[in-house]
Amino acid sequence: MNSRERVLKALDYEPTDRVPVDLGGTVTSGAQVSVIANLRQALGLDKPGEPVKVVEPYQMLGEVAADLLEALGIDVVHLPGPKNMFGFENKDWKPWRTFDGTNVLVPGKFNTEPGPNGDIFQYPEGDKSVPASVKMPKGGFYFDSIIRQKPIDEAKLNPADNLEEFTLISKEDLKYYEQKANELYEGTDLAIAMGLPGMAFGDIAHVPAPGFKDPKGIRDIEEWYISTVSRREYIKEVFAGQTEIAIKNLQRIYQAVGDKVHVVFVDGADLAAQDSLFCSLDGYRELYLPFSKQINDWIHANTKWKTMKHCCGGCEPLIEGFIEAGFDILNPIQTSARGMDPQLLVDKYGGRIVFWGGGVDTQKTLPFGTPDEVRRQVAERVRIFSQKNGYVFNPVHNIQCNTPTKNLLAMFEALGRKV
């Protein structure tokens, strides 16, 4: 079977000839750009020093290009949105260099300024005439959001301010989605995973609005989490308005891409930490589940798409709710977190939600283990997660900076690749 067939069968809990593999199919299943550059060199795809495109600058993710997909036998390809987290398009590429000395290519509006202590500041929509929205600490690898919260006047607090980024999709963007879907569907035999704009509820990466020049409403991360309890009716109004716009956009996007897309990344809101939840079970069912269910119900009634819920941490107590909300896929399966033992997850939820991730620990084993330890863990995870079918291999979340290339090669060797 080809890659597309393999992934679709896994999503339907049917046996496959081998476990499907994802690298870069979503914004939470790729790798930091320096990691991609080193991997390409090890595989003989690039010479030392050749630049790699940064396709998601907020997380500094490297492009998993067609030649790398083929070399590693990857089964999934990403259909990105027309703009990145900073609010500008990935085009007009120009050279840049990371703190660790990796040559990369960044979009033309990737406009940075150094701070007095060596930090690097980045600007929404690439506009240096407004305050920076993120910074990369000196010597760092990633950008951190800068909180630009205005003083909150309770009497004037308006849910419409937190809906500023949720607008009807433009005709230009619809043409973009249509063209990209056609290119990937006709030009590859891979499963296509697409991110849906504006469908996540309370995704904390989006709350500070790093792509907006003048964000309004509740934009402080701590204040947002507090508001899910202290201003719950306000948050519900935001989510209700978001849902109304999202369903209108779903109708438009589906008209553009049809069933040429197979997986949609719907919701990236993290609701758990390593050993606890960010919300109670009742809180999830009251605040998040009803709105997610409306999105998933529309998708399942009108398309063949499979919907993905991303949630880091020890989210096991919430998984039953994710299933009830209609999510088909859970990612990234953070197996080192509380309650996320692979066998427990398969025993309780296997056959009812697809596991996408969990293939090797990216906090300890992959960056700090030996190649043999990586091989053993990969083999064990594939065996366990494949017991009831419904598994797509990917490490836990994105592969982090400074991960040894030898360990990445060991991971793919354990998956049967000749690298």
pLDDT tens digit sequence for 149-182: 999 999 999 999 999 999 999 999 999 999 999 9
189-222 b/e with 16+ CB inside 10 Å = b?
Answer: ebbbbbbbbbbbbbebbbbbbbbbeebbbbbbee
Domain extent listing, the chain: 3-91+147-414
User: For residues 178 and 256, is the Cβ–Cβ distance under 8 A?
Assistant: yes
Count of other CB atoms within 10 angstroms of residue 247: 16
- Nearest of 234, 42, 253 to residue 152 by alpha carbon: 234
Residue 327 has pLDDT above 90, yes or no: yes
pLDDT surpassing 90 at residue 408: yes
pLDDT (mean) for 349-362: 98
User: For the residues 125-153, what does the mean pLDDT come to?
Assistant: 97
**What is the rounded average pLDDT of the residues 304-330?**
98
Q: By the 8 A CB rule, do 152 and 115 touch?
A: no
Tell whether the torsion through CA atoms of 217, 222, 225 and 230 is positive or negative.
Answer: negative
Token look-up 């690439």 returns 126
pTM: 0.97
**CB-CB neighbours of 79 under 10 Å:** 23
Q: Which amino acid is at 2?
A: N
Tell me the pLDDT band of 361, cut-offs 50, 70 and 90.
very high
d(CA 240, CA 229): 17
Number of C-beta neighbours around residue 239 at 10 A: 22
**Which residue type, as a one-letter code, is found at position 195?**
G
**3-91+147-414 fold:** TIM Barrel (3.20.20)
Distance from first CA to last CA of the chain, Å, rounded? 21
* pLDDT tens readout for residues 41-80: 999 999 999 999 999 999 999 999 999 999 999 999 999 9
Rg (CA), the chain: 21
Cα–Cα dist 99/117, whole Å: 14
336-349 burial: b if 16+ Cβ within 10 Å, else e: bbbebebeebbeeb
Amino acid 354: pLDDT: 98
Mean local confidence (pLDDT), 122-146: 97
- Considering the chain, what is the average pLDDT of its residues? 97
DSSP conformational letter for 304:
-
Q: Are 104 and 31 in contact (CB under 8 A)?
A: no
**Residue 25 confidence (pLDDT) above 90:** yes
Measured distance CA(15)–CA(6) in Å, rounded = 9
Q: Over 90: is that where the pLDDT of 130 sits?
A: yes
Question: What is the pLDDT at residue 418?
Answer: 86
Closest CA to 176 of 195, 163, 191: 195
**Phi and psi, residue 417, nearest 5°:** -90, 145
Q: CB neighbours (10 Å) of residue 3?
A: 19
Question: What would the pLDDT profile of 222-254 be if each residue is shown by its tens digit?
Answer: 999 999 999 999 999 999 999 999 999 999 999
pLDDT at 142: 97
Say whether the peptide bond before residue 332 is cis (omega within 30 degrees of 0): yes
Split at pLDDT 50, 70, 90, the class of 419 is confident
Q: How far apart are CA 301 and CA 306, in angstroms?
A: 11
371-398: per-residue pLDDT in tens? 999 999 999 999 999 999 999 999 999 9
